[in-house]
C-alpha cells in the first residue's frame, strides 16, 4: 500500500479572483444555511498575528493587520467568530498567556503605531515608530519576546508616550477619557498599579523577594492605607510616577481593545475572550483575602504526580471575598468581549487542589519546570458547583446582557465529566474535541447522541467542537502519526460516508475528513495553525519546548493557498461538500458549485 504523505507534496497554490470570492461567499452562505451552522470560530493568540510593517516581534489583535487577517479568514473559511486567548500581562521569564493577569491587559499587545494618531493625542512621533525596536525583527514566523522586553522595548516606548500624555491639558479629550476609565475600574485598577510600585520600590517583580509588609499590603480587603499612600508616590529613575504610568498603560490597552472589538463586530465577527482559571501573583497580592494560603489549583501529570497551576480561590468564601473576585473577573470579561471561553471550567466545579511540595524549604519542580504538588481533599462547593455557574458567572453575563450561549465552558480532562451536572440546561456551550475520536466515543456523532444522565437534554447546539485545542498536536501531526487514535480513518469514513481505504492511505484525505466532520454539527472551532495548514504547535504542555512562539508568516495568504495545493489547511469548499453529503442534503447545484472551488483551491499557481 502506498501512502501519500502530506509532507512530500510540493506546489504553489493560487488565490481567488475578486469575482470568484464573491461567488464563493454566496455558495458558503447557502451551504451554511442548509447545514444550520452557527458559530465557526478561529482560536487565535495575539502573539500569532503577523505584522506587515514596524514589527516589534509580537502580534496584536488591536492592529489593522488583525482586521485584515480576520477579513481573509471570513472570506476563505467562513469564520464568524474569533476566540482570543488570554490577553493579560506576562513577562519574558513566564511567557504563557495562561500565567497572565486576570484584570490588567498586557502592554506587550498595545499597537504603538496607533499612538501617533490624533485620536491618541499624537503621543508618539514618526521617528518613534521608525525606532530600531520597532524595525529590527527579521524572523517573522516566530515571536521575538527578547525584543519586546528589551531595555528599549515596549515599556520604554510607552514611557515616551506617557511623558507627552502627562503634558496634555487636563481638559483634553484623552485626559477626560482617562479619568472616566479610572472611575469605571476602581475594583482592580489602582491595586494592580500599586503592585507595580512595590516592584519598583523593591527592585523585583517577585513578591517573595519583598519585605513582609509589602507582601501583605492587602492582607485585609481595605489594605494598609498608610503604605498605600506611600506607594502612590513611588517614581522610577526618570521621575515617572509608577502608579499613574501603570494606569495610563491600562487605559491605552483598554481603549485599543474596545476599538478592536467594534472593528471586528463591524466585519460580522464576534470576539470571545479566554478567561484563564488561574491567577497571577499580581491578582493574588491585590486580593489576598480571596485565596487559600499555600494551596493551588492543580492537575494530574501522570506517574502519581500533580503539578500546581496557580493559587486557588478560597471556596469557603464564595459568598464574600472569593465570590466578589470571581464576579468582578467575569464581569470585566463580559464588558470587554461578546462572550467568554472559560479555561478548565471544571476547576470551579470539581477542583483539584494541591499543596506545593517543598524541598530544602523551596518549591519543588520537575525537569520540565512543573511546580509539583500533593493532592489534598476537595473542598465543599455549594450546590455541587451550580452556585458558581449560576450565581456568579451567568449573573455577570446577565448583568451585561450577554446571552448564555456566548459562554463557552472548557470541560476537557481533569474532573470534566463529573462537572457536567452543574452546567447542563444553563444554555452555556460545552467545548469538545475530536482528537481522540474512536469507534464509540470522541466523534461529533458521539457527542450529539449522548443520552447518559449527565448529558441528558443537551442538544447539538449546546456544543462547540474542534479537532484540538492550543495544547494539542496540530492536525498534520495527528494524521501523520495517527496520534491518540485507534482507527480515526474508520470512524470518519463511517460517519461521513467515505472510503476508509482511501482515508487510511492518504494523510491529506484524512485531514480533509477531520475538518469536514466539524461542519456536520452546528458550532465548530479550529486553531490558527490548523486553519492555515501549519505543522507548528502552539504549546506542548508540561514541557520546556519552544512554546507560545508560533506566528503566522507575514504572507499568510500565500502560505494558506500554497498549503491547500499541498493538501494542508482548511479547504472550506471541500469540508462543506463532505458535510452536505454526510447530512443527506441533496442540492446538486450547490455541491457542484462548491466542488468547482475545491478544485480551484487545490490548483497550483
* Predicted local distance difference test score (pLDDT) of residue 441: 80
Confidence of residue 8 (pLDDT cuts 50, 70, 90): very low
Confidence tier at 459 by pLDDT (50, 70, 90):
confident
For residue range 467-480, what is the model confidence (pLDDT) as tens digits? 999 999 999 999 99
Task: Give per-residue pLDDT as tens, 530-587.
Answer: 999 999 999 998 787 779 999 999 999 999 999 998 889 999 999 999 999 999 999 9
Q: Which residues in 192-229 are b (16+ Cβ under 10 Å) and which e?
A: bbbbbbbbbbeeebebeebeeebbbbbeeeebbeebbe
Half-sphere exposure of 288 (CA within 13 A, CB side): 17
The rounded Cα 117 to chain-centroid distance in angstroms is: 29
CA distances from 230 to 241, 242, 245, 577 (A): 12, 12, 16, 66
Cell numbers standing for residue 208: 517573595
- Quick check: 600 and 20 in contact, CB under 8 A? yes
**Contact by Cβ (8 Å): 487, 438:** yes
d(CA 555, CA 102): 33
Work out the pLDDT band at 376, boundaries 50, 70, 90: very high
Q: What does the pLDDT read at residue 485? A: 64
Q: Is the pLDDT of residue 1 over 80?
A: no
Checking if the pLDDT of 273 tops 80, the result is: yes
Output the pLDDT for position 247. 98
483 has a pLDDT exceeding 80: no
Q: Tell me the pairing of strands 429-433 and 463-466.
A: parallel
What's residue 3's pLDDT?
A: 43
The pLDDT confidence band at residue 367, using thresholds 50, 70 and 90, is: confident
Report the alpha-carbon distance of residue 569 to residue 558 in Å, rounded: 12
Q: Is the pLDDT of residue 204 over 70?
A: yes
Q: What would the mean pLDDT of 328-341 be, rounded to a whole number?
A: 98
Is residue 303 scored above 90 in pLDDT?
Answer: no
Sequence-distant (6+) residues with CB within 8 A of 465 are 431, 432, 433, 434, 444, 447, 518, 521, 523, 524, 525
Q: Is residue 450 predicted with pLDDT exceeding 90?
A: no
Nearest to 404 by CA among 386, 390, 387: 390
Q: What is the pLDDT of residue 449?
A: 81
Quick one: average pLDDT of 299-310? 87
**Quick check: 7 pLDDT over 50?**
no
* Separation CA 131–CA 160 (nearest Å): 12
Q: pLDDT, tens digit, for every residue of 137-191?
A: 888 789 999 999 999 999 999 999 999 999 999 999 999 999 999 999 999 999 9
- Please give the share of the chain, as a percent, with pLDDT higher than 90: 78
Dig out the grid coordinates for 160 from the structure.
Answer: 515616551
232-259: per-residue pLDDT in tens? Answer: 999 999 999 999 999 999 999 999 999 9
What are the tens digits of pLDDT across the range 75-118?
999 999 999 999 999 999 889 999 999 999 999 999 999 999 99
- Place 221 in a pLDDT band, splitting at 50, 70 and 90: confident
CB 297 within 8 A of CB 307: no
Confidence of residue 41 (pLDDT cuts 50, 70, 90): very high
Measure the CA–CA gap between 573 and 31, rounded to whole angstroms.
Answer: 10
Given a contact cutoff of 8 angstroms between Cβ atoms, the answer to whether 65 and 557 are in contact is no
Please determine, for residue 12, whether its predicted confidence score (pLDDT) is greater than 70. no
Report the percent of the chain where pLDDT is more than 70: 97
Task: Tell me the C-alpha to C-alpha distance, in Å, between residue 264 and each of 64, 271, 397, 515.
Answer: 11, 7, 20, 25
- 3-state helix, strand and coil shares in percent for the chain, rounded to the nearest 5: 45, 15, 40
3-state SS of 13-45 is: ECCCCHHHHHHHHHHHHHHHHHHCCCCEEEEEC
- pLDDT of 5 strictly over 60: no
Give the pLDDT confidence of 321-333 residue by residue, as tens digits. Answer: 999 999 999 999 9
Q: Residue 540: helix, strand or coil by DSSP?
A: coil
Residue 419 and residue 346 in contact, taking contact as beta carbons nearer than 8 Å: yes
- What pLDDT score does 605 carry? 65
Dihedrals phi, psi of 510, to nearest 5 degrees? -65, -40
Supply the pLDDT for residue 577: 98
Average predicted confidence (pLDDT) for the chain: 92
Place of cell 458558581: 388
Lowest mean pLDDT among 99-103, 213-217, 489-493: 489-493
Amino acid at each position: 500500500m502506498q501512502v501519500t504523505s502530506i509532507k512530500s507534496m510540493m506546489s504553489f497554490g493560487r488565490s481567488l479572483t475578486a469575482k470568484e470570492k464573491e461567488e464563493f461567499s454566496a455558495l458558503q452562505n447557502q451551504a451554511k444555511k442548509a447545514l444550520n451552522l452557527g458559530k465557526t470560530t478561529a482560536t487565535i493568540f495575539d502573539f500569532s498575528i503577523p505584522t506587515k510593517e514596524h514589527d516589534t516581534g509580537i502580534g496584536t489583535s488591536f492592529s489593522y493587520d488583525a482586521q485584515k487577517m480576520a477579513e481573509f479568514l471570513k472570506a476563505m473559511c467562513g469564520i464568524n467568530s474569533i476566540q482570543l486567548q488570554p490577553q493579560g500581562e506576562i513577562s519574558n521569564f513566564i511567557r504563557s498567556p495562561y500565567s497572565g493577569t486576570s484584570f490588567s491587559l498586557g502592554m506587550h499587545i498595545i499597537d504603538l503605531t496607533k499612538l501617533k494618531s490624533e485620536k491618541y493625542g499624537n503621543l508618539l512621533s514618526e521617528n518613534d515608530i521608525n525606532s530600531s525596536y520597532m524595525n529590527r525583527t527579521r524572523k517573522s514566523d516566530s515571536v521575538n519576546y527578547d525584543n519586546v522586553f528589551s531595555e528599549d522595548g515596549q515599556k520604554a516606548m510607552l514611557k515616551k508616550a506617557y511623558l507627552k500624555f502627562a503634558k496634555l491639558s487636563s481638559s483634553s479629550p484623552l485626559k477626560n477619557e482617562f479619568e472616566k476609565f479610572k472611575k469605571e475600574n476602581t475594583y482592580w485598577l489602582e491595586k494592580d498599579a500599586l503592585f507595580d510600585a512595590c516592584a519598583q520600590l523593591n527592585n523585583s517583580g517577585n513578591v517573595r523577594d519583598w519585605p513582609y509588609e509589602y507582601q501583605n499590603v492587602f492582607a485585609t480587603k481595605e489594605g494598609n492605607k498608610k503604605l498605600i499612600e506611600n506607594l502612590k508616590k513611588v517614581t522610577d529613575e526618570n521621575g515617572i510616577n509608577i502608579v499613574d504610568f501603570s494606569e495610563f498603560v491600562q487605559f491605552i490597552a483598554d481603549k485599543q481593545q474596545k476599538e478592536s472589538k467594534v472593528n471586528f463586530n463591524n466585519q460580522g465577527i464576534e470576539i470571545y475572550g479566554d478567561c484563564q482559571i488561574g491567577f497571577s501573583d499580581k491578582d493574588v497580592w491585590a486580593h489576598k483575602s480571596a485565596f487559600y494560603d499555600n494551596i493551588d489549583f492543580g492537575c494530574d501529570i501522570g506517574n502519581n504526580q500533580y503539578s500546581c497551576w496557580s493559587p486557588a480561590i478560597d471556596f469557603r468564601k464564595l459568598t464574600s471575598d472569593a465570590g466578589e473576585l470571581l464576579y468582578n473577573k467575569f464581569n470585566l470579561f463580559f464588558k470587554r468581549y461578546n462572550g467568554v471561553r472559560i479555561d478548565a471550567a471544571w476547576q470551579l466545579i470539581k477542583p483539584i487542589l494541591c499543596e506545593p511540595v517543598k524541598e530544602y524549604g523551596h518549591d519543588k519542580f520537575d525537569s520540565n519546570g512543573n511546580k509539583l504538588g500533593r493532592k489534598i481533599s476537595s473542598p465543599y462547593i455549594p450546590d455541587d458547583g451550580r452556585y458558581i455557574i449560576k450565581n456568579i458567572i451567568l449573573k455577570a453575563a446577565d448583568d451585561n446582557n450577554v446571552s448564555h450561549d456566548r459562554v463557552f465552558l472548557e470541560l476537557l480532562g481533569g474532573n470534566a465529566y463529573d462537572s457536567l451536572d452543574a452546567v447542563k440546561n444553563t444554555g452555556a456551550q460545552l467545548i469538545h474535541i475530536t482528537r481522540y475520536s474512536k469507534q464509540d466515543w470522541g466523534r461529533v456523532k458521539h457527542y450529539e447522541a449522548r443520552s447518559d444522565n449527565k448529558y441528558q437534554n443537551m442538544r447539538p447546539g449546546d456544543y462547540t467542537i474542534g479537532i484540538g485545542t492550543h495544547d494539542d498536536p496540530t492536525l498534520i501531526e495527528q494524521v501523520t502519526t495517527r496520534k491518540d487514535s485507534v482507527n480515526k480513518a474508520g470512524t470518519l469514513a463511517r460517519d461521513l460516508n467515505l472510503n476508509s481505504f482511501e482515508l487510511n492511505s492518504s494523510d491529506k484525505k484524512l485531514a480533509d475528513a477531520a475538518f469536514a466532520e466539524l461542519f456536520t454539527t452546528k458550532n465548530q472551532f479550529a486553531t490558527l495553525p490548523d486553519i492555515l495548514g501549519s505543522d507548528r504547535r502552539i504549546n506542548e504542555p508540561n514541557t520546556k519546548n519552544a512554546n507560545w512562539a508560533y506566528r503566522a508568516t507575514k504572507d499568510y495568504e500565500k502560505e494558506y493557498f500554497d498549503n491547500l495545493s499541498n493538501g494542508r489547511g482548511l479547504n472550506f469548499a471541500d469540508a462543506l461538500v463532505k458535510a452536505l453529503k454526510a447530512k443527506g442534503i441533496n442540492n446538486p447545484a450547490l455541491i457542484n458549485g462548491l466542488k468547482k472551488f475545491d478544485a480551484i483551491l487545490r490548483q497550483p499557481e
